[in-house]
C-alpha cells in the first residue's frame, strides 16, 4: 500500500505566500507577531525581508498596522496562532478590519486542539464562532495542502477581509491538484471522513419530512460508497424557516441548504404576537 503524503496546512500557507510574491504581486505584504517560524511566514521573510514585518507580541497592534496598510492599497496577510489572532485581537479585527471591510487577510495557524503540547491556553476552537459573527468576514478552513494553497490564492484575489484557519500537524493530502477546483462559497458534495482507521469518501443523503405540529424534520446522513450510513443527524425545523423556500433549495443543493437551515434556526424572524 502506497504511503499517504502528509503536509501541514501551515506549510502550505507559507509556501503559497512566497509563490504569490515571486509571481509579481508587489502589493502583498506579510505581518507576524514573533511567530514566523511557527506560522511558516518565515519562508516569505527569507525571500522578501523588506515586505515582512514582525510586530512583536502585540497582536492587536498588528491588526491595526494591517488595517493601515490596506487603506494604502497593500494586501496584508496577518499571521499568528488562532488563539491570538482571533482571540486576543478580536476587538481590533472587529472595529478596524471587519466594520470598514478592509482588504486584510488573517492567516491563523495552530487552530483546534492539534497544538496539544502547548496546552489548553493555545487550543482555539471558538475562532470560527468569533470570526463568523463579524459582518463581511469570509471564513475558510482548508482540509489539505492542495485546498490550502488554493484558499490562500482565492483570499488574495478577492476584495475584503478573510480569516484563513490552518493546522499545526501534517495531514493527509487527498485532493488531486490536477483536477481539484476551489471556489469560494461553494462546497463539495463529497466529504472525506478521517479517524485513525478510516479514510473514505462519503456522500450526503437528505430528506425533509413534515410533522403534524407544523414543524419539519430535516434528516441528513453521510453514507459511504455502499450507502451505508457513517453518521446520521436530524434537525427539528420550525415552519417559519421552511416558509423561506428552503425545501426547494434543499433538493437542489444539500450542502448549501444545511448551512442555510442552521443560520435560519438562529436568524429567522419570530412571529409577532397580537
Q: Which run of H or E residues covers position 226?
A: none
Q: Which run of H or E residues covers position 57?
A: none
Q: What angle do CA 203, 259, 269 make, to 5 degrees?
A: 150
Report d(CA 94, CA 109) in Å as an integer: 19
Contact status, residue 247 vs residue 258, Cβ threshold 8 Å: no
Catalytic residue among 3, 19, 23, 59: 59
Report d(CA 189, CA 201) in Å as an integer: 10
Report d(CA 118, CA 200) in Å as an integer: 31
Q: Is 267 among the catalytic positions?
A: no
β-pair type (75-81, 28-32) = parallel
Q: What is the C-alpha R_g of the chain?
A: 21
Catalytic residues: 59
Amino acid at each position: 500500500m502506497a504511503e499517504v503524503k502528509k503536509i501541514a496546512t501551515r506549510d502550505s500557507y507559507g509556501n503559497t505566500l512566497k509563490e504569490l510574491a515571486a509571481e509579481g504581486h508587489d502589493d502583498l505584504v506579510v505581518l507576524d507577531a514573533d511567530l514566523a517560524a511557527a506560522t511558516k511566514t518565515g519562508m516569505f521573510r527569507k525571500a522578501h525581508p523588506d515586505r515582512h514585518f514582525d510586530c512583536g507580541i502585540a497582536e492587536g497592534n498588528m491588526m491595526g498596522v494591517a488595517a493601515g496598510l490596506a487603506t494604502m492599497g497593500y494586501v496584508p496577510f496577518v499571521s499568528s496562532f488562532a488563539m491570538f489572532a482571533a482571540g486576543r485581537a478580536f476587538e481590533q479585527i472587529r472595529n478596524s478590519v471587519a466594520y470598514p471591510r478592509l482588504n486584510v487577510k488573517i492567516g491563523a495557524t495552530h487552530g483546534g486542539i492539534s497544538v496539544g503540547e502547548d496546552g489548553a491556553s493555545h487550543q482555539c476552537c471558538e475562532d470560527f464562532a468569533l470570526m463568523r459573527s463579524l459582518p463581511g468576514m469570509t471564513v475558510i478552513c482548508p482540509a489539505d495542502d492542495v485546498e490550502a494553497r488554493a484558499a490562500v490564492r482565492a483570499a488574495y484575489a478577492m476584495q475584503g477581509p478573510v480569516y484563513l484557519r490552518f493546522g499545526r500537524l501534517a495531514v493527509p493530502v487527498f485532493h488531486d491538484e490536477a483536477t481539484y477546483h476551489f471556489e469560494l462559497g461553494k462546497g463539495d458534495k463529497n466529504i472525506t471522513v478521517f479517524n485513525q482507521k478510516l479514510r473514505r469518501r462519503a456522500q450526503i443523503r437528505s430528506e425533509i419530512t413534515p410533522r403534524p405540529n407544523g414543524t419539519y424534520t430535516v434528516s441528513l446522513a453521510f453514507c459511504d460508497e455502499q450507502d451505508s450510513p457513517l453518521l446520521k443527524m436530524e434537525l427539528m425545523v420550525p415552519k417559519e424557516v421552511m416558509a423561506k423556500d428552503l425545501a426547494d433549495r434543499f433538493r437542489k443543493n444539500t450542502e448549501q441548504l444545511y448551512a442555510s437551515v442552521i443560520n435560519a434556526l438562529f436568524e429567522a424572524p419570530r412571529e409577532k404576537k397580537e
